[in-house]
Amino acid sequence: MSTRAEEALDRQATPWLFACAIATALPHAAHQAYWLSAASLLLLGWAVGLWWKNERLPGRWPLILLVIAGCGGILIEFRTLFGRDAGVAMLVLFMAMKLLELKSRRDAMVVIVLGYFLLLTHYLYSQSIPTGIWLLLALWLLTATLIRLHGGASSTRSMSLRYAARLCLQAVPFMLVLYLLFPRISGPLWGLPSDAHAGMTGLSDTMSPGSISRLAQSADIAFRARFVDTLPARHKLYWRGPVLENFDGTTWRPHIGQGTPAALDKLSPPVRYELTLEPHNQRWILALDAPVHLPEGLLLNATLAATQRQPATERQRFQLAASLDYRFNVAEDSRTLQRNLSTPRESNPKARALALGWRQTSGGPKEIIRKAQDLFAAEFTYTLQPPLLGQNGIDEFLFTTRRGFCEHYAGAFVFLMRAAGIPARVVTGYQGGEFNPLDSHLVIRQSDAHAWAEVWLDDQGWLRVDPTASVSPARIETGIVDALAFDEPLPALVQLRTDWLRNLRYRWEAVNNAWNQHILGYDPQRQRELLSRLGLPETDWRSLATLLGIACSLLVAAMTAWTLYQRPRLDPALRLWQKALRQLARRQVHCAPWETPMALAQRVREQHPALGEPFQNVVDAYLRVRYDDANDNLTPLREAIARLRR
């Protein structure tokens, strides 16, 4: 009966805590080092075993040794104790170790709070809808455990779960108010650890044979676009990423250094669209060719690629416009042209000889380009699984294997052009996209990654030439699925050829997009928009805080009022009885708390003989309703009370 015993953890509550530990830590197993998951599982197994056999928990020294061993392991694995992955690993290990120390209710509280904390860490890896649902369920379990912990054994499993669900539902209005009104601060408050944004996929800034075909096997979404007016024709959808000018024989790299600013002649009215870029940890934003009217914060570099100052580490939205027909850098800097004519000496002699032959026999650059396109159209195959290439890769590709993906065609084409004396360079990016009719968004996946070429001609500037279009016109006109044979290793998600499956995917992606746009994409900008739509323009954090305070107080007041003014539910017979007592009180007869109905009737007979008979009837009817199980009929009581009034 002492306080200590009261605070001790009851045995039946412990499995709840095991369940909490599993629910909050398990999803981390997907991306954690195997030894960490194994160690955590072993610790959990140990704790469960001790609980099952009702044995004593280990003392302090074994635990301290375990902590030291765990920290040592993490230090060896991650070379640090801080940072995202190391921090999460520590939390998971501590959670498992705390299970070996479950003695009092306070220890259990630590497990729960640690569990809540672990929930947050999952969002560092994914904020998708399934993660959200899983974590909501885990939150429910944690809350039910708290209730079970504090309610003691009289709080059963179903009762705890139901109560927890009710509490969580009642917390939702607070969450909404806070989510909408809490002053949002964007950007990191302090330096993020170096591994904060590890594991993002996307184009890299170099291209070698195989780099794009590898990327194209992923169905991940690279970005989405929503056009304000009409969707442009598919073959015009070239989304420009890094432009690669330097070639060392196998790998294409961008030129480092400032060039002259891009000079653009728009030849068609701008097409406006909104681009939602998934994080890819690079600075380019993959604007549609050719970007015009860039919003503030974006830069157009000398190669017509739109970039921003910081790598895209989170989902971003841009309002952009593009001129689909354009003339670009007609007066190009001579050093740039020189750079785009150079090829590594002594490499690929056969290709070089072919190009020189073209140069000598043809009338001009246009004809040379035509010849190269004809070459590709004749006997080349478009495939995701090209054979490996050796030292003189372009020669091998052009004259022996003749199988390749867009990076092979773009690389070989640019090499041929340069050898033939035409300035040319490789442009990487994405081509096409899939239109989702449900939410009118164009979805561009990693499988839409593409590489093409740009040649510079007198009076025309840089001109886009897509050698892949010669090999496989379908790639440009309808997309990669139709351009490749059935047995190519495209992701299943992209390949769906059945209508209803495709529809299902459209639906799922539309939901995801709405989730990203409206829930995850709620940023300071959106907050301002919402508030000005609510009639509160020009809000600063002070007015937001005031608004937040008012809204929260109103909610608390509403809930408290609901609590305070909840009338106890009276038994109907008792309510009628109280009505009869009020009748008596009007005649100055007050029922004392200890007086039984019979005693009261006796007193009434003595004090008010006239009232004695009718009141006795009320008492009889009341006692019949209360104590006769078979009789639930309230009518006689009601009638007796009505007679009392007369």
Partner 1 sequence: MKIAPSLKQLLFRWKSDGTGPLRLGQRRIFIVPSRGGLLFALALVVMLLGAINYNLALGHALVFLLAGLGIVGMIHTFRNLFGLTITPGRCEPVFAGEIAFFPLSLDNDRTAPRLALELAADAAFPVGAAVDSLGKARVRVPLPAPRRGWLALPRVRLTTRYPLGLFTAWSYLQPEMQCLVYPKPIDAPLPLAGSSDWGGDRHGDGGQEDFSGFRERQPADSPRHVAWKASARHAGEAPLLIKTFAGGTQSKLVFEWQHTAPELSDEVRLGILTGWILAAEAAGNAYGLRLPHLSLPPERGSRHCQRCLEALALFPS
Among 52, 123, 399, 541, binds partner 1 (CB under 8 A): 123
Largest CA-CA distance found in the chain, in angstroms, rounded: 136
Shortest Å distance, C-beta 192 to partner 1:
7
Judge residue 219's burial from the number of C-beta atoms within 10 Å of its C-beta, 0-12 exposed, 13-18 middle, 19 or more buried: middle
Query: Is 175 a residue that touches partner 1 (CB under 8 A)?
Result: yes
Closest CA to 371 of 381, 380, 384, 361: 361
Catalogue the active-site residues. Answer: 406, 450, 466
Query: Is 140 a residue that touches partner 1 (CB under 8 A)?
Result: no
Among 387, 473, 521, 636, binds partner 1 (CB under 8 A): 521
Instruction: Report the alpha-carbon distance of residue 432 to residue 234 in Å, rounded.
Output: 6
Among the residue ranges 172-180, 222-230, 346-354, 363-371, the one whose residues contact partner 1 (CB under 8 A): 172-180
Shortest Å distance, C-beta 308 to partner 1:
15
Among 9, 50, 57, 168, binds partner 1 (CB under 8 A): 168
Using the minimum distance from each CB to partner 1, give the nearer residue, 262 or 548: 548
Using the minimum distance from each CB to partner 1, give the nearer residue, 141 or 426: 141
Query: Is 137 a residue that touches partner 1 (CB under 8 A)?
Result: no
Query: Is 514 a residue that touches partner 1 (CB under 8 A)?
Result: no
Q: Which residue has the tokens 């590489």?
A: 451
Using the minimum distance from each CB to partner 1, give the nearer residue, 26 or 300: 26
For 485, half-sphere exposure in the C-beta direction (CA atoms, 13 angstrom radius) is 10
Shortest Å distance, C-beta 518 to partner 1:
10
Judge residue 297's burial from the number of C-beta atoms within 10 Å of its C-beta, 0-12 exposed, 13-18 middle, 19 or more buried: exposed
Instruction: Report the alpha-carbon distance of residue 64 to residue 314 in Å, rounded.
Output: 39
Among the residue ranges 159-167, 419-427, 446-454, 637-645, the one whose residues contact partner 1 (CB under 8 A): 159-167
Query: Is 196 a residue that touches partner 1 (CB under 8 A)?
Result: yes
Using the minimum distance from each CB to partner 1, give the nearer residue, 194 or 478: 194
Shortest Å distance, C-beta 411 to partner 1:
38
Query: Is 86 a residue that touches partner 1 (CB under 8 A)?
Result: no
Q: 264-283 burial by CB neighbour count: b if 16+ within 10 A, else e?
A: beeeeeebebebbbbebebb
Among the residue ranges 247-255, 302-310, 357-365, 556-564, the one whose residues contact partner 1 (CB under 8 A): 556-564
The residues facing 266 across adjacent strands are 326
Among 35, 52, 182, 399, binds partner 1 (CB under 8 A): 182
Size of the site for partner 1 (CB under 8 A): 68
DSSP per-residue string spanning 259-279: -PPP-EEE-SPPEEEEEEEPP
Helix, strand, coil % over all residues of the chain, rounded to 5: 55, 15, 35
Using the minimum distance from each CB to partner 1, give the nearer residue, 192 or 299: 192
CA dist list (Å): 229 to 329, 400, 424, 477, 510 = 28, 47, 34, 21, 19
Query: Is 38 a residue that touches partner 1 (CB under 8 A)?
Result: no
Residues 307-366 that bind partner 1 (CB under 8 A): 314
Shortest Å distance, C-beta 171 to partner 1:
3
Q: Sign of torsion, CA 573 575 581 583?
A: negative
Query: Is 147 a residue that touches partner 1 (CB under 8 A)?
Result: yes
Sheet hosting strand 424-431, strand order edge to edge: 264-266, 326-328, 461-465, 449-457, 424-431, 238-244, 287-288
Among 51, 163, 435, 508, binds partner 1 (CB under 8 A): 163
**Separation of first and last alpha carbons in the chain:** 58
Question: How many C-beta atoms lie closer than 10 Å to residue 562's C-beta?
Answer: 10
Q: Which residues lie near partner 1 (CB under 8 A)?
A: 1-3, 6, 105-106, 109-110, 113, 116-117, 119-120, 123-124, 127, 131-132, 135, 139, 143, 146-147, 149-152, 154-155, 159, 163, 167-168, 170-175, 178-179, 182, 184-190, 192, 196, 314, 519-522, 552, 555-556, 559-560, 563-564, 566, 568-570, 593
